[in-house]
Amino acid sequence: MKSTKWLFGVALIALGFTSCKDEKEAQAEKAVDSYVVYVDSVEKVAIEDAQKNWEGIDAVYQLRMSEAEANLANLKDSIKARERIIASRDRYEVIRTKMVVVAAPVVVDSKQQLRNALFGEGKIGDDMNFDWVNAGNIHGVYQTFIHTAEDNKDSYSREDWDEIKLMYEALDSRKNTVEKEGLSKEDNREIAGLKFKFAPMLKVNRMGAKSEEMKEAKE
């Protein structure tokens, strides 16, 4: 009789363990499914809408991911579950990258804005590389540079004129190289005319901007 009760007790304990284990596994599967479904839902949200609520979206994501990873040990097929988690995580990183690209405006400093205006968008960067200027386009480059400077001379600061002088000298240096690479006499003559008018204007306006800055500093 005692032996029967003992076996019955062991059976109840084993059943309890099995029930507990099944419950934990069910919770684990739910946690992983919840994580995967959440990433699926985020993918379907328009970028503009997601951007407005990104902090909340990401906070929920971090919670779902933590729960899913914490429950892996309770799954029989934890390898397959981990693969699902990794796949969803990779998809979410793609979404996050899109959010960062949308959220981060391109900031162009004043010097680069000036270079873009005088030479064209992105033609000249911090490296001051003029290799793209050749015998075929140098006349046009001088025209754009000088006419733009003339048209905007009243709006330039002393720092702007310093930068213009620096770029003008760099362009002249490039011209010395281009002359040896087949610059036509006609283009050379036209460039000389542009430079003849621009050089004194550069000097006067640069000095004027500097004097104005000193006057304002004293006041």
3-class DSSP string for the chain: CHHHHHHHHHHHHHHHHHHHHHHHHHHHHHHHHHHHHHHHHHHCCCHHHHHHCHHHHHHHHHHHHHHHHHCHHHCCCHHHHHHHHHHHHHHHHHHHHHHHHHHCCCCCCHHHHHHHHHHCCCCCCCCCCCCCCCCCCHHHHHHHHHHHHHHCHHHCCHHHHHHHHHHHHHHHHHHHHHHCCCCCHHHHHHHHHHHHHHHHHHHHHHHHHHHHHHHHHHC
Tell me: do 11 and 57 sit in the same domain. yes
For the residues 51-73, what does the mean pLDDT come to? 85
Domain termination site, one of 74, 103, 132:
103
Q: Which of 81, 103, 125 is the last residue of a domain?
A: 103
Same domain (yes/no): 89, 117? no
How sure is the predictor about 79, in pLDDT bands with cuts at 50, 70 and 90? confident
Q: Are residues 79 and 19 in the same domain?
A: yes
Shared-domain flag, residues 121 and 98: no
User: What total number of domains does the chain contain?
Assistant: 2
Residues 70 and 55 in one domain: yes
Residues 198 and 121 in one domain: yes
What is the extent of the structural domain holding 121? 110-218
What mean pLDDT do residues 104-108 have? 59
Same-domain check for residues 116 and 214: yes
Tell me: the pLDDT tens digits for 162-213? 999 999 999 999 999 999 888 999 999 999 999 999 999 999 998 887 666 6
Q: Which of 48, 72, 103 is the last residue of a domain?
A: 103
Do 92 and 12 lie in a common domain?
Answer: yes
